[in-house]
Amino acid sequence: MNLKICHLYPDLLDLYGDRGNILTLAARCRWRGIEPDIQQASLGEDLDFMSMDILFIGGGSDREQGLLVQDLMRREDELRKAIENGLVVLAICGGYQMLGKYYQMANGERIDGLGILDVWTIAGTKRLIGNVVVELNQTILEGDSQRLKTLVGFENHSGKTHLGEGVSPLGKVVFGNGNNGEDSEEGVRYLNVFGTYLHGPLLPKNPHLADLLLELALKRRGIDTLLLNLDDRLEELAHKVMVKRLLKQA
């Protein structure tokens, strides 16, 4: 068995160790006897979104975001169809913003997004920086009481993202800022698309989220099976220590 994992624009979108998310997915596949087929694609390269199992888009600057949106616009229909077909997507920071309707810069100029997600982003006057703890929505946990119920990560963004209709946040911020520092929401979920501002990278700190992405990718393939349990005691201990430390500061 193999899973096709595509890292989109790795040369332009890779802030704060975002590549670590790909390494984590690949490792957690191999440890279970699943062969990860890692693909990298950049500007102008042909892509077959329907054939992918997981698509990862990392974070980058406003300038890079403007360039990449134009590149993605020419294949928006294909990406949209794949997402409606259940493609698993993890989008971080700038990648998250690009999937939305638009990003309004501080000078009032708007960078149109793909409009796949009903979210929009407006540049703020200060950066939202620091560690974050998020209490996950129960729908994200999918009834699995054994999963960790929080996400931890690091944010650094000036854009304030707001959610519209048909999407839901990943969870409630209990430490940090999240989407906009105003409504206590962090990230977004739409079908199998997960958008978030959490860097760090995200998945090594949250192996339960990595496994959820893998499970969803397998289900899309028609393989409805539980993943082999891994010994995540050290990862979960590190996660819980971070949560405890930050909540003491709250």
β-strand partners of 154: 131, 199
Alpha-carbon distance of 171 to 184, in angstroms, equals: 8
- Is the preceding omega at residue 201 within 30 degrees of 0, hence cis? yes
Cα dist from 233 to 131, 191, 236, 238, 240, whole Å: 22, 30, 5, 9, 10
pLDDT digits 0-9 by tens, 1-40: 899 999 999 887 777 788 999 999 999 999 999 999 999 9
Query: What domains sit in the chain, N to C, each tagged with a CATH number?
Result: 2-249 (3.40.50.880)
Parallel, antiparallel or unpaired: strands 102-104 and 110-112: antiparallel
Please enumerate, by residue number, every residue annotated as part of a binding site: 127
> What pLDDT, on a 0 to 100 scale, did the predictor assign at position 79?
95
pLDDT digits 0-9 by tens, 87-125: 999 999 999 999 999 999 888 989 899 999 999 999 999
> What pLDDT, on a 0 to 100 scale, did the predictor assign at position 62?
66
Mean pLDDT, rounded, for 50-60: 93
Please enumerate, by residue number, every residue annotated as part of a binding site for substrate: 127
For residue 93, indicate whether it is catalytic.
Answer: yes
In 3D space, the residue among 5, 6, 82 whose CA is nearest the CA of residue 42 turns out to be: 6
Catalytic residue among 93, 157, 208, 239: 93
> What pLDDT, on a 0 to 100 scale, did the predictor assign at position 67?
75
pLDDT digits 0-9 by tens, 172-186: 999 999 999 999 999
> What pLDDT, on a 0 to 100 scale, did the predictor assign at position 171?
97
Tell me if 227 sits within 8 A of 208, measured CB to CB. Answer: no
Mean pLDDT, rounded, for 147-153: 94
For residue 199, indicate whether it is catalytic.
Answer: yes
> What pLDDT, on a 0 to 100 scale, did the predictor assign at position 145?
66
Catalytic residue among 7, 157, 199, 239: 199
Alpha-carbon distance of 202 to 196, in angstroms, equals: 9
